[in-house]
Structure 1
Amino acid sequence: MDLGLPDLSAGALGGGAGSAGKLNPVSLLAGSHSWRVWFVDPTHARLALVDGTDEYDVVRNGSDVWQWSSADASVAHGKVPAGAANPGDARPPALPGSGAAGIPDLSNPDAVATWALSQLDPTTAVTSTRTDRVARRSAYGLVLTPRAPDTRIGSVHLSLDAETSLPLAATVFPRGSTRPAVDVRFTTLTLARPAPSIFEFTPPPGATVTIEGRHDGPMPKTDRTPFARPHVVGTGWSSVVVGELPAMSTASTSHGAASDPMAVLRKVLPRASGAWGSGHVLTTRLFSVVVTDDGRFAAGAVDPSVLYAALAH
C-alpha cells in the first residue's frame, strides 16, 4: 500500500496487551505484505503473515483461537464462548443510505470490489478491459472511474475470475496519479477445501503461552454512555460518515496513551479550524478524516473541504 500516511510510529498504536508477538497493525498500512489464507467457514480459518524470517499466524479451529508470533516465540490462546456469534454469520447493519460510505475496507480484492461496485450510479463511468490472468487463472477486467469532482479516488481497476466472478485483484488509483495507492491481489488460488490439519495448532517447544480471558481481579469499568449513531452526508463517491467518538473509559485512560490511539493522532496530525469548529485532520492519497476537539469525526474518500461542509451540515 502507498496511502501517503503520516508517521504514526509514536508507539501507542502497537499490538497492545494480550496480543501475541509484536505485530503493529499500523505497519500493515504501508509497503508490501504477503498473506496466506485458508478458509472453510467462519469457525475454521487461518491467516499467516510472513515478513522476512518472521511469521505471525491467527488460527480459528472451532471454539479455539490461537495467535502465534515467531518473532518472540509467543502464543496467545483463547476460547470463543458457546453461543457467541461467529464472524461472517451476519454483517452489522449498514448506515442508513450509506452503501459503503466513509473509509472503505482495502484489505482484500473482494472488499475493495464490494465497496467500488456499491458506488455504481450516474457518477461512475464503467469500462471493460482486456482478458487478463491473475493467480494463474483467466480473468476479465472492469475499470470504475468516478465522475464526482470532490472524491480523492481516480479509478478502481478490478480483475474478476472468468469462471467464478470472484475478485482476484483490485487496484485503486488516487485522482490525478498513475501510481496506485492500493494493489491487493491473489498470487495463487486453490478452490479445494483445506485439510482439517491446517487448523490444528500446537504451541512449538519453548513458546511462551498466554491464556486469554482469565482475569485475576475485577473487570475494568467501561463507559456505557450512549452516543449518537453515525450518519451519512452526501451520496456515492462523495459520501461522508459523520458521528461522535465514544468516550474513553476511566480504566483505559489510566493506562496512558497506549490505550488511547486518538492521543497519538492528535500529536502527529495538523490542526485546522473553521465554521465547523476546530480539530485535527488526516489527509491521505485516498481519503481524509477530521476529528474535532469536541469529540466529533467525519471521514470519507473526499477532500477535507467536503468533510468540513459535512460537519457543519
Structure 2
Amino acid sequence: MSVFRSRPALRWLVPAAAAAVVIGGGAAAGTIVASADPALPERSAAQLLVDVQNAKVEGLSGTIVQTADLGLPTLPGITGGAGSNADLMKLVAGSNTARVWYAGQDKVRLAVLGTLGETDVIRNGSDVWVWRSSGSSATHYKIPAEAGKHEKQTPPLGVPSTPQEAADAALAAIDPSTEVSTTGAAKVAGRDAYELVLKPRDTASLVGQVRLAIDAEHRIPLGVDVYAKNANDPAVRIAFQQVSFAVPDAEQFTFNPPPGTKVDTADESELRAEAEKAQKAEKAARDKAAKPEAPEGTKVVGKGWASVLVAKLPTGDAGKGSGDGAQQLEAIAGVLPKVSGTWGSGRLLQSALFSALLTDDGRVLVGAVAPEKLYEAAAQK
C-alpha cells in the first residue's frame, strides 16, 4: 500500500504536482499586450486567458509527455530507493507518456503508458471501457441515454498531466499575487503558439515562473513549463510532443478485448454512483477555485504562492490497517536530515520547487517555499 494513498496529507510531498503548485498563485491580467512574433496577430494577456477557457476543437490526437526533475534526494519507495515505485518515481524524476484522441464529447480515448503496462480509457457513444494491460483486465460501462443531456460541451482534455489541466490549475485562482506578461511566440510540437508567463510577486516562493504555450490557431494549451527560481530549465514540463487537429478515425474508439482478458460489466447503479461522485467532485473543485479552502483537518498559513499547508498525520487507531504505509513513511523520514528550532524538531525534505517538514509532534508542513517559511508556520501551533 502506498503511503500517499493511506495518508492523503502526504500527497503534498510528491508534486506530481509541481504543475499544481501554481494553484497558489493567480493572474492579474490587466491589459498587458502580447508582444507576439509579427507573424501572429497581437493578443493581450487578458484575451489569451479568455481564449484558453473558451477553446473548442472538433477533433485532435497527439502524444503528451510529462517530464520532471525536482532535485529530490533518494527516497525509499519514491525516487529509486529500495522497493521504489517506478511509475511514481517518474512523476518526480523522469518522464511519463500518454496518447489522446478526441472526436467529440462521446468519442474520447486516453492511453497512459506506464512502466508496468498501459491503461486505456475509451468512450464510444454510450460504451465506456477501462482496459489495463497489466493483469489483462477490462471494465465495461454502459452510459444511460439521459446522461448525455448533462455533459459538458468542452473537449475532455482535463485529464491528469495534460497541458489543459496544468493550465487550468495555473489560472484557477486569478488574483493580484501574480505578475503576468508575454514573451512573444513559441514553437511546441511544430506549431506556432503564444506564450504567457506567470511570475509570483512574492519572492518567498520557490517558483520562478510558469510558462503557458497557447496554440495560435486553436487556442488550447500545447505546453506548460514550471521553473524553479533562478533556473534556466523547467523543473516540470507537460507538453504535446506531437499533435494533429484532424478528427481521428472511428476505429480509434472501437475496443475489442484481447483474447484472455477478464471483462467485468458494471451495472447502471454503479455507473450512476460513479457519475454522481464525479459531479460532486467537479462541484467541489469549482467551489474550491472560487473560494480556496484547506482540506479537512488542515490549515493554510500565508497566502498565494508562499502559502504553507499544515496537516496532522494520522496516529493511533487512525493508522491501523496501513502497516505498509506506516513502514514506508518511517523509511522516508529515516533518510531525511534532522532539523530543530524554537518551533520544535523534525525531518526536512527539500526540492527545487517545494519544501516539506515532518515534525516530531505529528505534523506535516508543505509549501513552494524555503524551509525558513515552514519553520515560521510550524511555530504557529
TM-score, normalised to structure 2's length? 0.58
2:374: which partner in 1? 307
Q: Is the 8 A contact 2:308 2:366 kept in 1?
A: yes
The alignment covers a number of residue pairs equal to 265
> Which whole-Å deviations, capped at 9, do the CAs of 1:169-227 have from their partners, x for residues lacking one?
1112211221221122112223455556435545545x6859799xxxxxxxxxxxxx9
Give the partner amino acid of 2:313: L
Aligned mates of 2:363, 2:178 — CA distance in 1 = 30
Aligned mates of 1:236, 1:138 — CA distance in 2 = 31
> Which whole-Å deviations, capped at 9, do the CAs of 1:133-155 have from their partners, x for residues lacking one?
32333310111222312111111
Q: Is the 8 A contact 1:66 1:201 kept in 2?
A: no
Unaligned runs of 5+ in 2: 1-67, 153-158, 267-294
Q: Is the 8 A contact 2:187 2:193 kept in 1?
A: yes
Higher helix share: 2
Matched-pair identity in %? 36
Pair 1:266-2:333 in alignment:
yes
Give the partner amino acid of 1:137: R
Give the partner amino acid of 1:58: D
> Which whole-Å deviations, capped at 9, do the CAs of 1:253-296 have from their partners, x for residues lacking one?
1xx35x75423321332222223332222211011112223332
> Alignment partner of 2:169: what SS?
helix
Higher relative contact order (CA 8 A, sep 6+): 2
State which of 48, 55, 75 in structure 1 corresponds to 2:112: 48
Q: Which stretch shows the higher mean deviation, 297-306 or 2-11?
A: 2-11
Give the partner amino acid of 1:76: S
Pair 1:9-2:80 in alignment:
yes
> Which whole-Å deviations, capped at 9, do the CAs of 1:39-91 have from their partners, x for residues lacking one?
5659954223276xx8522335555422114xxxx3234467999x9xxx89x
Pair 1:76-2:146 in alignment:
no
1:35: which partner in 2? 98
Calculate the aligned-residue CA RMSD, in Å.
3.7
Aligned mates of 1:204, 1:106 — CA distance in 2 = 26
Deviation (angstroms), 1:232: 1.7
> Which whole-Å deviations, capped at 9, do the CAs of 1:116-162 have from their partners, x for residues lacking one?
33465444332212222323333101112223121111111211122
1:115: which partner in 2? 169
Q: Is the 8 A contact 1:291 1:297 kept in 2?
A: yes
Pair 1:236-2:304 in alignment:
yes
Aligned mates of 1:260, 1:82 — CA distance in 2 = 41
Q: Is the 8 A contact 2:122 2:255 kept in 1?
A: no
- Closer, same or farther in 2 for the Cα pair 1:228/1:121, shift >3 Å? closer
Q: Is the 8 A contact 1:141 1:158 kept in 2?
A: yes
Aligned mates of 1:63, 1:260 — CA distance in 2 = 38
Residues 1-313 of structure 1 aligned to structure 2 (within 5 Å): 1-7=68-74, 8-11=79-82, 14=85, 24-39=87-102, 44-49=108-113, 55-61=117-123, 62=127, 64-69=129-134, 74-78=135-139, 107-118=161-172, 121-191=175-245, 194=248, 197-205=251-259, 228-247=296-315, 249-253=319-323, 256-257=324-325, 261-313=328-380
Runs of 4+ displaced beyond 6 Å? 79-83, 210-213
Deviation (angstroms), 1:301: 0.9
Give the partner amino acid of 1:27: K
- Closer, same or farther in 2 for the Cα pair 1:148/1:252, shift >3 Å? same
Give the partner amino acid of 1:26: M
Aligned mates of 1:41, 1:266 — CA distance in 2 = 45
- Closer, same or farther in 2 for the Cα pair 1:236/1:76, shift >3 Å? same
Q: Is the 8 A contact 1:232 1:240 kept in 2?
A: yes
Q: Is the 8 A contact 1:119 1:236 kept in 2?
A: no
Aligned mates of 2:218, 2:94 — CA distance in 1 = 30
- Closer, same or farther in 2 for the Cα pair 1:261/1:129, shift >3 Å? same
Q: Is the 8 A contact 1:158 1:167 kept in 2?
A: yes
- Closer, same or farther in 2 for the Cα pair 1:244/1:211, shift >3 Å? farther
Q: Is the 8 A contact 2:87 2:114 kept in 1?
A: no
Aligned mates of 1:262, 1:45 — CA distance in 2 = 36
Give the partner amino acid of 1:172: V
Aligned mates of 1:269, 1:121 — CA distance in 2 = 35
Aligned mates of 2:186, 2:244 — CA distance in 1 = 18
> Alignment partner of 1:111: what SS?
helix
